[in-house]
């Protein structure tokens, strides 16, 4: 691995966003292909963050500062990726279901999916079933990621899946769910395609659900 | 409206105070301490038994169900004055407020229970912190001097219920000012500021304990952090051990010197990664112990033995599934109640999706399984 790319990777793992920004610019200036910087510097680092989270060495704060560092570099990289016609792994529409304003879990999942190479359409909080359907229709998302914090808003995941079915769009999109009261069993009960207990495993689930381009 | 209890108090041969202390110290008891941890705001508007009987808050509900009595006294251990709660902006379905911590947050217009969408923290930089500290966290503010005589009301000579002392929060209230994301970044960006915030929280609690402990014979201490979620703590265990735990130790020393040897910590979510440091700091009881976010209470009581107690641990998800599920779950708790060091109640405020008739069934079954009806 190129020294600059390795430095980007290392500094993402250490949450050093200012250094990542500088090193990404240096890497671009030195002519390293944007896709190499993305794949080996950023996506590989975030995959390692996910691994460390899953084995209990990293916790949410480490994940967040690593993601902040990755985003600092990605902001510089994105225009170059567009120029080079580098495709994302897929597009995920993400939102907290209707009735729920909480967004921390949703944001973490979005950050980790973006860090894994997915394009994120953030639908926000308190998202109605109709708005989720619209994201499938208009924005052609490959998957919807639904978050719920409250036992009282969990049923709005059912309403969202029902709205997708009613609109004839259910087969066009994968539905993944998560949140404090959500379980694997609940995902099965309501006909979701999958459940992820945390942001790292949301990436693993997305890789299973969304076929590689 | 006078509220008439819907159930008599569970039969017993001990006072609530003796029962609580004996149960928390693994000694034989007449029956389990009978308490719950309150309800969502919606329950007071939706449950017919609450609406019909004019029950609008936890105190009234506790009286209605004839629960055992438990109380906590508190000094003024954080922001003074707190920020004025005010509406900043009205939006279509939400209202933007500034809360008492000074944070801008979006809440639903109908005020249904949810965690708000936080928009702007009170403190981001060390300069913000210095301003808040100077304006609202002065140790020598006259408002921090406790009116001991007034508090004596809660501690009559013949007191028959457990009385606790509030030990505040070392990091949870800081998170409330910085927001979840803000705290994660500040630990990296401004570590000295964060340590000064924790130290400030600690000295304010110490000052309060110094004023109160000499005047009361207390049964327990209570704290609050809420710094964990289903995926673990929102601060790293290393940060918790290095920065927070030493302050817990200082508080614990004062409590023990005054004969208070039970300290429960209110912390939702998966506390397991920080539990060893929490216990090393002197906390020895978890409350309200969220099952879905952490584990069945037996798992931790088995792991930590009699060094740990748990209050709560009745899975609210199971309460919402109906009577069969409630019965099956409560039966799993029988060995824990018999073992001691465990008081069963719903693992957070009871949510409104629980059928009120099922809730009454739950209370009656608790009495049957853990009371003197056995």
ipTM of the complex: 0.83
Of A104, A125, A181, the CB nearest to B180: A104
Name the percent of chain A in helix, strand, coil, to the closest 5. 60, 15, 30
Same domain, B301 and B345: yes
Of B230, B233, B353, the CB nearest to A59: B233
Q: Considering the domain boundaries, does residue B4 fall inside one?
A: no
Same domain, B348 and B275: yes
Q: Using CB atoms within 10 A of its CB, is residue A82 exposed (0-12), middle (13-18) or buried (19+)? A: exposed
| Residue in chain B nearest A183 by alpha carbon | B292
Same domain, B102 and B179: no
Q: Which residues in chain A are contacts of B231 at CB distance < 8 A?
A: 60, 197-199
Helix (H) or strand (E) holding A138: helix A129-139
Q: Which residues in chain A are contacts of B42 at CB distance < 8 A?
A: 152
A59 in contact with chain B, both atoms CB, cutoff 8 A: yes
Contact B43, B60 (CB under 8 A): no
| Interchain pair B353, A198: CB under 8 A | no
A189 in contact with chain B, both atoms CB, cutoff 8 A: no
Domains of chain A by residue range: 3-83, 91-209
| Interchain pair A99, B112: CB under 8 A | yes
Same domain, B102 and B54: no
Residue B169, pLDDT score: 98
Q: Using CB atoms within 10 A of its CB, is residue B151 exposed (0-12), middle (13-18) or buried (19+)? A: middle
CA distance A151 to chain B (A): 7
Q: Considering the domain boundaries, does residue B9 fall inside one?
A: no
Judged against a pLDDT cut of 60, whether residue A157 lies above it is answered with: yes
In which residue are the tokens 């495709």 written?
A: A87
In the sheet with B104-108, reading across from the earlier edge strand, the strands are: B86-90, B94-98, B104-108, B117-120
Same domain, B107 and B141: no
Q: Which of B92, B120, B148 is the last residue of a domain?
A: B120
| Interchain pair A99, B236: CB under 8 A | no
Q: Considering the domain boundaries, does residue B7 fall inside one?
A: no
- CB contacts under 8 A, A 84-143 vs B, are 99-105, 107, 125-126
| Interchain pair A59, B237: CB under 8 A | yes
Q: What is the CATH number of domain A3-83?
A: 1.10.1240.10
How many domains are contained in chain B?
2
In the 3-class helix/strand/coil scheme, how is chain B assigned residue by residue?
CCCCCCCCCCCCCCCHHHHHHHHHCCCCCCCCCCCCCCECHHHHHHCHHHHHCCCCCHHHHHHHCCCCCCEEECCCCCCCCCCCCEEEEECCCEEEEECCCCCEEEEECCCCCCCCEEEECCCCCHHHHHHHHHHHCCCCCHHHCCCHHHHHHHCCCCCCCCEEEECCCCCHHHHHHHCHHHHHHHHHHCHHHHHHHHHHHHHHHHHHHHHHHHHCCCCEEEEECCCEECCEECCCHHHHHHHHHHHHHHHHHHHHHCCCCCEEEECCCCCHHHHHHHHHCCCCEEECCCCCCCCCHHHHHHHHHHHCEEEEEECHHHHCCCHHHHHHHHHHHHHHHHHCCEEEEECCCECCCCCHHHHHHHHHHHHHHHCCCC
Q: Considering the domain boundaries, does residue B10 fall inside one?
A: no
Phi, psi torsion values for B339, nearest 5 degrees: -70, -35
Tell me the three state secondary structure of residue A31: coil
| Residue in chain A nearest B239 by alpha carbon | A61
CA distance A103 to chain B (A): 7
Interface with B, mutate which of A11, A152, A153, A199 (most B CBs under 10 A) = A152
Interface with A, mutate which of B181, B272, B352 (most A CBs under 10 A) = B181
Of B107, B184, B229, the CB nearest to A61: B184
pTM of the model: 0.90
Tell me the three state secondary structure of residue A173: coil
| Residue in chain A nearest B350 by alpha carbon | A151
> Residues, chain A, total?
213
Q: Which residues in chain A are contacts of B243 at CB distance < 8 A?
A: none
Give the CATH superfamily of A91-209: Cobalamin-binding domain (3.40.50.280)
Of A56, A59, A101, the CB nearest to B114: A101
A75 in contact with chain B, both atoms CB, cutoff 8 A: no
Same domain, B249 and B310: yes
Q: How far apart, in whole angstroms, are the C-alpha atoms of residue B255 and residue B259? A: 6
Q: Mean pLDDT, consecutive 10-residue segments, chain B of 374 residues?
A: 92 98 97 97 96 97 98 96 95 93 92 84 97 97 95 96 98 96 94 98 98 97 94 93 98 98 96 97 97 94 97 97 98 97 97 97 98 78
What's the Cα-to-Cα distance from A158 to each of A164, B115, B273, B292, B318, rounded to whole Å? 10, 21, 33, 20, 19
Same domain, B116 and B131: no
Q: How far apart, in whole angstroms, are the C-alpha atoms of residue B167 and residue B222? A: 6
Q: Which residues in chain B are contacts of A60 at CB distance < 8 A?
A: 184, 229, 231-234
| Interchain pair B114, A103: CB under 8 A | no
Of A56, A102, A107, the CB nearest to B273: A56
Q: How far apart, in whole angstroms, are the C-alpha atoms of residue B246 and residue B171? A: 13
Of B230, B231, B353, the CB nearest to A151: B353
Same domain, B116 and B127: no
Q: Please state, rounded to an integer, the average pLDDT across all residues of chain A.
A: 94
Judged against a pLDDT cut of 90, whether residue A213 lies above it is answered with: no
Structure tokens at A207: 């890789």
Q: What is the extent of the structural domain holding B185? A: 16-78+121-370
**If you average pLDDT over residues A186-198, what whole number do you get?**
96
What's the Cα-to-Cα distance from B163 to each of A117, A213, B65, B311, B312, rounded to whole Å? 55, 63, 20, 15, 18
Q: Which of B120, B148, B172 is the last residue of a domain?
A: B120
Q: Which residues in chain B are contacts of A148 at CB distance < 8 A?
A: none
Same domain, B74 and B102: no
Q: Please, which residues have CB within 8 angstroms of residue A138's CB and are 6 or more apart in sequence?
A: none
A81 in contact with chain B, both atoms CB, cutoff 8 A: no
Residue B331, pLDDT score: 98
Residue A164, pLDDT score: 98
| Residue in chain B nearest A201 by alpha carbon | B231
Residue B111, pLDDT score: 77
For chains A and B, CB pairs below 8 A equal 91
Please name every residue paired with A38 in a beta bridge, in sequence order, or none if there are none.
none
Rg (CA), chain A: 17
Domain holding B138: CATH number? 3.20.20.210
Q: Which residues in chain A are contacts of B236 at CB distance < 8 A?
A: 58-59, 61-62
| Residue in chain B nearest A68 by alpha carbon | B185
């Amino acid at each position: 691995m190129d020294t600059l790319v390795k430095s980007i990777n290392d500094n993402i793992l250490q949450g050093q966003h200012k250094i990542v920004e500088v090193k990404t610019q240096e890497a671009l200036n030195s002519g390293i292909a944007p896709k190499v910087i993305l794949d080996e510097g950023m996506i590989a680092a975030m995959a390692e963050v996910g691994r460390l989270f899953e084995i209990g060495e990293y916790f949410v704060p480490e994940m967040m500062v690593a993601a902040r560092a990755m985003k600092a570099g990605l902001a510089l990289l994105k225009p170059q990726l567009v120029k080079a016609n580098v495709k994302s792994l897929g597009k995920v529409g993400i939102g907290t279901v209707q009735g729920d304003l909480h967004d921390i879990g949703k944001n973490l999942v979005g950050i980790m999916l973006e860090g894994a190479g997915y394009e994120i359409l953030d639908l926000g909080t308190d998202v109605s079933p109709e708005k989720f359907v619209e994201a499938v229709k208009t924005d052609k998302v490959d998957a919807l990621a639904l978050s719920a914090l409250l036992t009282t808003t969990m049923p709005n995941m059912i309403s969202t899946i029902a709205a997708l079915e009613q609109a004839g769009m259910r087969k066009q999109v994968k539905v993944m769910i998560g949140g404090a009261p959500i379980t694997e069993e609940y995902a099965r009960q309501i006909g979701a395609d999958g459940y992820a207990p945390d942001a790292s495993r949301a990436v693993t689930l997305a890789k299973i659900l969304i076929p590689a381009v | 409206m006078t509220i008439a209890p819907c159930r008599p108090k569970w039969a017993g041969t001990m006072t609530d105070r003796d029962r609580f202390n004996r149960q928390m110290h693994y000694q034989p008891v007449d029956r389990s301490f009978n308490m719950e941890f309150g309800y969502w705001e919606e329950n007071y508007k939706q449950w017919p038994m609450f609406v019909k009987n004019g029950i609008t808050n936890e105190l009234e509900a506790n009286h209605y169900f004839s629960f055992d009595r438990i109380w906590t006294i508190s000094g003024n251990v954080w922001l003074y004055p707190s920020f004025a709660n005010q509406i900043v902006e009205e939006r279509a379905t939400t209202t933007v407020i500034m809360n008492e911590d000074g944070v801008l947050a979006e809440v639903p217009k109908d005020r249904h229970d949810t965690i708000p969408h936080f928009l702007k923290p009170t403190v981001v930089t060390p300069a913000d912190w210095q301003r808040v500290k100077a304006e609202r966290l002065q140790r020598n503010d006259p408002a921090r001097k406790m009116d001991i005589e007034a508090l004596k009301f809660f501690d009559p000579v013949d007191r028959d219920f457990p009385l606790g002392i509030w030990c505040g929060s070392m990091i949870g209230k800081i998170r409330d000012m910085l927001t979840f994301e803000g705290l994660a970044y500040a630990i990296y960006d401004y570590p000295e500021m964060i340590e000064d915030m924790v130290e400030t929280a600690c000295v304010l609690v110490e000052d309060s304990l110094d004023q109160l402990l000499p005047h009361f014979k207390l049964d327990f201490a209570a704290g609050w952090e809420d710094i964990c979620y289903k995926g673990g703590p929102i601060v790293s265990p290393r940060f918790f051990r290095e920065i927070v735990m030493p302050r817990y130790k200082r508080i614990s020393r004062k409590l023990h010197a005054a004969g208070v040897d039970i300290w429960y910590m209110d912390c939702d979510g998966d506390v397991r990664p920080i539990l060893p440091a929490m216990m090393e700091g002197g906390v020895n009881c978890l409350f309200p112990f969220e099952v879905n976010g952490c584990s069945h209470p037996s798992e931790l009581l088995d792991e930590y033995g009699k060094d740990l107690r748990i209050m709560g641990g009745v899975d609210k998800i199971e309460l919402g599934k109906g009577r069969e599920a409630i019965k099956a779950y409560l039966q799993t708790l029988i060995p824990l109640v018999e073992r001691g060091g465990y008081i069963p109640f719903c693992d957070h405020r009871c949510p409104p999706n629980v059928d009120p008739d099922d809730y009454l069934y739950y209370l009656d079954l608790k009495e049957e399984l853990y009371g003197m009806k056995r």
